[in-house]
Structure 1
Amino acid sequence: MSTNEYDVVVVGGGPSGATAAEHLARQGRSVLLLDRAGRPKPCGGAIPPRLIRDYAIPDHLICARIQGARIVSPKDRSVDMPIDGGYVGMVDRDVFDEWLRERAADAGAERATGHYESIERDADGCAVVVYRTKDEVAHRVRARLVVGADGARSAIAKHHVKGGDKMPCVFAYHEIIRTPVGDARYDGTRCDVIYNGRLSPDFYTWVFPHGHQTSIGTGSARKGFSLRGAVTNFRREAGLDTAETIRREGAPIPLKPLKRWDNGRDVLLAGDAAGVVAPASGEGIYYAMLGGELAAKAGEAFLASGDAKALGLARKHFMKAHGKVFWVLGMMQYFWYKNDWTRERFVKMCRDPDVQKLTWEAYMNKQLVRAKPVAHVKIFFKDLAHLLGLARA
């Protein structure tokens, strides 16, 4: 059993943890980035232009450039939503996440591979992170600050942050297949989003191209619903059942940010562990990386001042910037994902040019669009008409 000491131990090496480790290391802090070896989480892999710009993502990590989306209703009616003058980047999470971890290491963070077990306390009250490596050797590392970026079922959140054991989640499952070649039904520059209760009673099913590979998946919060069976059925119906399956993955995805991200002492959450995945869409990479950056800034303020109140800045700044977006998306999911009747009307509403333009502008730039109040008013009344069934589906 070995003991070392760091300013910060970051538990979890996904986009959030790697970003937090990189930013803290660049501030001159001694950082240990602990990540367990294994498969990446199920994820469509979409990253908006703002992420690419804000976090200097190089072109070689972008394996596909999406020019639009096709939304499909329960009655198999489709709506095409082209992106005007831009694109959404797609990444392979195994390659993307490792690149982020390596960037953190290049910034000065030390990497370790192992399974997190617990946080203990020294006689002086300092946090001691206990983890076990593949050879079952236990390691103990002292830390002035612990950043928990260990996913939606975060053990750190559960045991060290009030309310961290009450994270509502959608369970996601996807299959990575070899991209079909010469199939006219398949478009490698388009994401397909399918709203159908047979395939997902309360979320959606997707086909997201990644160049030579494609993610086909679905999600649901309903216990007992067969995600694997739904994907099998969809692949058969879509003519994708004969494509080579490269791997299968499943994991929970949080539905809303936790009310607290820190323990008021020396533990701070980031990414999925803090619940920063957008409702309705399930998008998490941008919010995870932003959460990691804000955790690093709050952590640096805490380390510099010794004032644990500084840890609360991470959540405060995140919710100030994106709380309204999350509220709007949460309401959308609550009203429109209830059943196939509402989903049918939701897809029809997506035909509206105002809806499409404002949707893409908000997604690409990660903020609500305020410049066109008349369009917002029009959308509000159209939305209300569809919700009340006054518009024909």
Structure 2
Amino acid sequence: MTNSDTFDAVVVGGGPAGATAATDLARRGRRVLLLDRPGRIKPCGGAIPPKAIEEFEIPDSQLVAKISSARMVAPSDRHVDMPIDGGFVGMVDREPFDEWLRERAAGAGAERRHGTFTKLTRDTDGTALIHYRPAESADRNEDIAVRAKAVIGADGAMSAVAKQCIPGAKELPHVAAYHEIVRSPAPTSGKGLHDFEPSRCDVYYQGKLSPDFYAWIFPHGETTSIGVGTELKGFSLHDAVDQLRKETGLDQCETLRREGAPIPLHPLPKWDNGQDVVLAGDAAGVVAPASGEGIYYALVGGRLAGEAVEELLVTGQAKALAMARKRFMKQHGRVFWILGIMQKFWYKSDKRRERFVSLCDDPDIQHLTWQAYMHKKLVKAKPAAHVRIFFKDMAHLLGVVSPWRKKAAAADSEATRLPSS
């Protein structure tokens, strides 16, 4: 290897996390290689909050829809509509959106290559050697290797970089997700439970569709994502999506593509190898429990990984890499912890799912949920609302109220602050 083969950073994976890290480092003048496997589209609802749009400079042209409400559907088919007061949730289609992020990285100066990471070894001086198989030679055993002063593993929930380099990564628990992208039907607002409203996301908390997570219908403008997730092995995701499409009449829509992938449930306890490798995005496990929200947290994780690598390159101190996880958990760890508890409790049975959806009818919960989701911070402006929610939650958990009572008792505001996405 020669110095010309050495990159300041090799980013493995070109999703939101990897592309953001590559963009930020390239803008700092670093020599960056963005290595991505072509043709891989993650199954994703596609929701991004205004905070992500503002913080990561996402142009309006990338939004295929703007959602103004969500509908939560209980096992009994009773439902709650949650309108967004004075805001919206942006929707993206991951195929063109991820490519736009990669092109932005290239425009900032990162070098793009199509290929699949195979292994990491060491050159004679200890520098990391990243081996990959170019897309054009996928049918031949011809690997290429480049030197990297630092490596960012952003190659998904089953990250090959993480499995090889990070202790404990092989045990990362995950939800299996599957969705079908269909051509959107004409709007049928006001037609009942299963009407189609292009500015509304529908979330189904029904054990028949998902025994431990949820199913969804998310409009993407000209297309719509219909999907489901579960951690239960042996449960047929395809059958669940088929059933949801039949019940909603979306089985009559043209199917454009089908996608499936694992979604991690918890952040890994360690994101770096203490030397020159750090993880970001799904590879680090940063998908919010209960809600399944991942795009915003991937963008944040990619930025923090880029900052950690930059600090490593400037100081030569490997401990800088640990700051990516430390900073992320300081900002978002509490929310992840609360949502993890929420998922384990409320998604356990249809009886609890029924009660959970009834909680969403509460105005205090709706306001605090949307405010916290859109702005990604705790809502402290209405302490009285938090107090009311606390006592409603206690009443609900003690069984002194029943689901669907008018202004139903509510769960802890922090356990219901993020809508599914």
Report what 2:163 is aligned to.
Answer: 158
The aligned amino acid for 1:27 is: R
The aligned amino acid for 2:397 is: L
| Alpha-carbon distance in structure 1 between the residues aligned to 2:252 and 2:180 | 13
SS in 2 for 1:241: helix
Report what 2:90 is aligned to.
Answer: 89
Provide Cα deviations, 1:110-148, integer angstroms capped at 9, x if missing partner.
Answer: 000001100011111110000001213311000000000
SS in 2 for 1:39: coil
> Residues 350 and 182 (structure 1 numbering): CA distance in 2 closer, same or farther, change over 3 Å?
closer
SS in 1 for 2:103: helix
Match for residue 204 of structure 2 among 194, 197, 201: 194
Report what 1:344 is aligned to.
Answer: 354
Structure 1 residue 188 displacement after superposition: 0.1
The ranges of structure 1 where at least 4 consecutive aligned residues each deviate by more than 6 angstroms after the TM superposition are none
Provide Cα deviations, 1:270-306, integer angstroms capped at 9, x if missing partner.
Answer: 0000011111000000000000000001110001011
SS in 2 for 1:248: strand
| Alpha-carbon distance in structure 1 between the residues aligned to 2:243 and 2:54 | 38
Matched, 1:389 2:399: yes
Report what 1:30 is aligned to.
Answer: 31
Superposition TM-score, scaled by structure 1 size: 0.98
> Residues 71 and 182 (structure 1 numbering): CA distance in 2 closer, same or farther, change over 3 Å?
closer
Residue segments in structure 2 that go unaligned for 5+ positions in a row: 190-194, 404-421
How many residue pairs match? The answer is 393
Report what 1:61 is aligned to.
Answer: 62
Provide Cα deviations, 1:7-60, integer angstroms capped at 9, x if missing partner.
Answer: 100000000000000000111110000000113100000010000001111111
Structure 1 residue 183 displacement after superposition: 3.5
Match for residue 142 of structure 1 among 140, 143, 147: 147
Matched, 1:120 2:121: yes
Q: Is the 8 A contact 2:187 2:197 kept in 1?
A: no
Q: Is the 8 A contact 2:154 2:282 kept in 1?
A: yes
Matched, 1:283 2:293: yes
Q: Is the 8 A contact 1:199 1:234 kept in 2?
A: yes
Deviates more, 1:30-39 or 1:3-12: 3-12
Q: Is the 8 A contact 1:325 1:367 kept in 2?
A: no
The two structures, once aligned, show a CA RMSD in angstroms of: 1.2
Equivalence map 1:69-108=2 (5 Å): 69-108=70-109
Q: Is the 8 A contact 1:349 1:382 kept in 2?
A: no
The aligned amino acid for 2:364 is: D
| Alpha-carbon distance in structure 1 between the residues aligned to 2:188 and 2:364 | 32
Structure 1 residue 5 displacement after superposition: 1.2
The aligned amino acid for 2:247 is: E
Matched, 1:268 2:278: yes
| Alpha-carbon distance in structure 2 between the residues aligned to 1:238 and 1:101 | 36
Report what 2:367 is aligned to.
Answer: 357
SS in 1 for 2:171: coil
Percent of aligned positions with the same letter in both sequences? 63
SS in 2 for 1:380: helix
Match for residue 186 of structure 2 among 145, 168, 181: 181
Provide Cα deviations, 1:137-181, integer angstroms capped at 9, x if missing partner.
Answer: 311000000000000001111111111111110110000000002
SS in 2 for 1:38: coil
| Alpha-carbon distance in structure 2 between the residues aligned to 1:157 and 1:10 | 13
| Alpha-carbon distance in structure 2 between the residues aligned to 1:385 and 1:170 | 31
| Alpha-carbon distance in structure 2 between the residues aligned to 1:130 and 1:255 | 29
| Alpha-carbon distance in structure 1 between the residues aligned to 2:48 and 2:333 | 20
SS in 1 for 2:305: helix
Matched, 1:255 2:285: no
| Alpha-carbon distance in structure 2 between the residues aligned to 1:385 and 1:9 | 53
Match for residue 176 of structure 2 among 171, 176, 201: 171
The aligned amino acid for 2:276 is: D
Superposition TM-score, scaled by structure 2 size: 0.92
SS in 1 for 2:169: coil
Structure 1 residue 370 displacement after superposition: 2.1
Deviates more, 1:135-144 or 1:75-84: 135-144
| Alpha-carbon distance in structure 2 between the residues aligned to 1:104 and 1:214 | 28
| Alpha-carbon distance in structure 2 between the residues aligned to 1:388 and 1:196 | 23
SS in 2 for 1:165: helix
Report what 2:192 is aligned to.
Answer: none
Deviates more, 1:373-382 or 1:278-287: 373-382
Equivalence map 1:224-243=2 (5 Å): 224-243=234-253
| Alpha-carbon distance in structure 2 between the residues aligned to 1:390 and 1:334 | 22
Report what 2:111 is aligned to.
Answer: 110
Structure 1 residue 390 displacement after superposition: 2.5
Structure 1 residue 182 displacement after superposition: 4.8
Provide Cα deviations, 1:63-114, integer angstroms capped at 9, x if missing partner.
Answer: 1000010000000011000000010000010100000000000100000000
SS in 2 for 1:257: coil
Residue segments in structure 1 that go unaligned for 5+ positions in a row: none
The aligned amino acid for 2:132 is: Y
